[in-house]
Amino acid sequence: MKKIILLMIAALTACATPEKKTAESAAGFIDEATIVSSIDGIRSSQPETDAFILEKGVRHAASLWREEDGSAQQFADFVAANYIASPQKRSEVFFKISNYFESLGGNLNEITLDLKKVLDETGGEIDEIDKMFGNYSVGSHLQSDFYSNKIAFVIALNFPYYTLAEKEELGEKWSREEWAMARLGDQFVSRVPAELNQAMAVASGNASMYVAEYNIYMGKLRTDDGRQIFPDDMVLLSHWNLRDEIKANYADTKNGPEKQEMIYRVMERIIRQEIPGKVVNNPEYEWAPYSNRVTKEGAEVQLAPEPDARYAQVVNIFKAHRAIDPFSPGMNTAILRKFAGEMEIAQEEIEALFDAYLSTPQLVSLAEIIKQRLGRDLRPYDIWYDGFKSRSAIPESMLTAKTSALYPDPAAFRNDMPAMLVKLGWSPERAKYIADKIVVDPARGSGHAWGAAMKGSVSHLRTRISDKGMDYKGYNIAVHEFGHNVEQTISLYDVDYFMLSGVPNTGFTEATAFLFQDRDLKLLGIKEENPEKEKLQMLDAAWSLMEIMGVGMVEMKVWKWLYENPEATPAQLKEQTVAFAIEVWNKYFSPVMGIADSPILAIYSHMIDVPLYLPNYSYGQIIQFQIEDYLKGKDFAAEVDRMYKQGRLTPQHWMNGAVGVKISAQPVINALEEALK
């Protein structure tokens, strides 16, 4: 699934500068003397003003002011005319701005949904004009307008930006309104030219299309002796559906291992870009992944490998980020913007958190249990071992028969959403209130959740449903996306201040999605009778966390390397990505699984179209575990409502308010140790 797009907030975090002006020459236009005299002038004329907010506001507005905005004297005049000293008046203006932002963001979000509909939903053929409109960023020029008409400066002056460290220190004593005002201050931190934002939208949109159309026709795969082992009509999207097919085959002890081995070989060919380019999303050829031989109508044909297209997408997105870097002082890399900015946690903290967990010796003991249960040595694809879940003992065909009968089309899934919420503990009235604000659309890709951005709008659940109905894999993903939509609804409609709508970062919405996904069998009315269910869930969560943390570690290394080697070609990036995947594998996974040199951690498609998103999954699983642990014996629905009504505090403040403690992997490690006993 893609990250939730709150278009207005994304658009307002960066604003335009004329093409001839560089970031370096624009910086520091307002000198210290002008700043000090402006502050002193307000203190003299409005002695009741809050000195701390005044100084922060003037200095922040000065950092954004450029020569084209006016002279230093005009800046001083602007400050004198627009600074709001009265707390009451400041509050009144804040609510007006919030309403304007909700209207702008909500309506721009709706326009974007319309423009991307052909790309995101199943339907007719995608023409080049569809891509052009779908990749168009409708909010990009709003940014420059807000600087030209001085709205950005009014906000920066009166609602200044607080750093993450300041939020952590001061937030304990802030009221809800003060928190909301601080979030308003986050909207104007840097000024990025509109054409650079548009270039980023194009690069990201092209990568998303590349991923959404990366289907493997499984019925066309062949063993080296010419056998077909997958059904004719099976078409799997990389990587999600390929991974899920590996999981599904643990229940088939007779034929499953051979299928898993073949999928693993397909993945290796994709990672190394050895896959013949023309077999991707194309049923015309038979392909033997082991020998890499291709035939058509019985005759062998020579096809060129995919020309490093996978890594070209990453290079293009990196170049778009690098062009933006100089215009983001203080957060002048995509890594800083993602972690310290978007996730509000330092990348080094995330890496240390992951290292602590991946190095825990309990994972070796857990691997031994899996080895015993499988009755064989572990293989690299066993990072997706699914045998701890109750559903792994239930044939995939049985589950698919149930889901396809229940959900022949998107409308059927939507109609059942209120009943699903009631099963999870919401009252019928509350369930209807939430479900009425979510619609279900047929997806071209694996599916995703796209949230509303203003009250009165709906969230969209995009899910993949064939003409035979929703198979179990699709259902499992749809339930995950449903969790996102529920969070999106609560954190928009039930949060007291619009500027606090949402969650601290995508790790928190992933946590909600996982909470729902883990209850997918319950929603189907299938009872899990296993008396050791809780221990099994813990073992499954611990193993899954190891896998996704490893993937996140690879991606962080890749992006650090890109910044050290900014002129890297797609071919060089491919070689380095494979090297990092093997390095992380050998450091953390080889001691656990007893096999070396696998590149499998580089298969994730989110590495291609949504860079640096993957660490959110691990972060989300840690958050999910802490929430799950807290929810034991409590009302699931009532607590989810309470937690997500907090809105977009910083991660540590949110978690402290939700469960009473800060974020840590140690509770997971402790629970794993207890389960292993």
Interval 426-462: pLDDT, tens: 999 999 999 999 999 998 877 789 999 999 999 999 9
Q: Identify the residue whose tokens are 């894999």.
A: 473
Given a cut of 90, whether residue 190 has pLDDT beyond it is no
pTM of the model: 0.74
Tell which wins on pLDDT, 393 or 324: 324
Comparing CA positions, the residue from 440, 552, 476 lying closest to residue 240 is 476
Q: Tell me if 147 sits within 8 A of 16, measured CB to CB.
A: yes
- Beta-strand relationship, 438-442 and 459-463: parallel
More confident residue, 541 or 457: 457
pLDDT at 506 over 90: no
93 has pLDDT over 50:
yes
* Predicted pLDDT at 330: 67
75 neighbors 38 (Cβ within 8 angstroms): yes
CA distance 177 to 175: 5
Query: DSSP labels for 439-493?
Result: EEEEBSSSEEEE--SSTT--EEEEE--BTTB--HHHHHHHHHHHHHHHHHHHHHH
Q: What is the pLDDT of residue 342?
A: 87
Identify each DSSP E strand in 517-633 by its residue range. none
Residue 357 scores a pLDDT above 90: yes
Concatenating the DSSP letter of every residue in 369-410 gives HHHHHHTS---GGGGG--TTSGGGGS-HHHHHHHHHHH-SSH
Whether residue 6 is predicted with pLDDT greater than 90 in this model: the reply is no
Joined together, the tokens standing for residue 580 give 């990092």
Residues contacting 16, CB < 8 A, separation 6+: 141, 143, 144, 147, 191, 192, 193, 194
Q: The dihedral of CA 37, 38, 41, 47: what is its sign?
A: negative
- Where in the chain are the domains? 7-192, 214-271+274-307, 311-387+529-676, 395-523
Assess whether pLDDT exceeds 80 at residue 405. Answer: yes
Per-residue pLDDT reduced to its tens digit, 469-499: 999 989 999 999 999 999 999 999 999 999 9
Residue 391: per-residue pLDDT: 52
Nearest Cα residue to 182 out of 202, 205, 156, 200: 156
DSSP state of 173: G
Average pLDDT over the chain, rounded to an integer: 91
β-bridge partners, 121:
443
Are 423 and 522 in contact, with CB atoms under 8 Å apart? yes
Burial class from Cβ neighbours inside 10 Å (0-12, 13-18, 19+) for residue 332 reads middle
- CA-nearest of 299, 256, 298, 258 to 386 is 256
Q: Could you tell me the pLDDT band of residue 392, with boundaries at 50, 70 and 90?
A: low
Instruction: Check residue 26 and give its pLDDT.
Output: 47
Q: What gap in Å lies between CA 46 and CA 27, rounded to an integer?
A: 29
CA distance 260 to 279: 19
Model confidence at 140, in pLDDT bands (50, 70, 90)?
A: confident
Task: Give me the percent of the chain exceeding a pLDDT of 90.
Answer: 73
- The answer to whether 79 and 52 are in contact (CB under 8 A) is no
Fold entry, domain 395-523: Collagenase (Catalytic Domain) (3.40.390)
Distance CA 207, CA 199 (A): 12
CA 108 to chain centroid: 20
What secondary structure letter does DSSP report for 150?
S
Contact 441, 485 (CB under 8 A): no
Contacts of 393 (CB under 8 A, 6+ apart): 251, 387
**Which residue type, as a one-letter code, is found at position 240?**
W
Q: Write down the residue that tokens 């013949």 correspond to.
A: 276
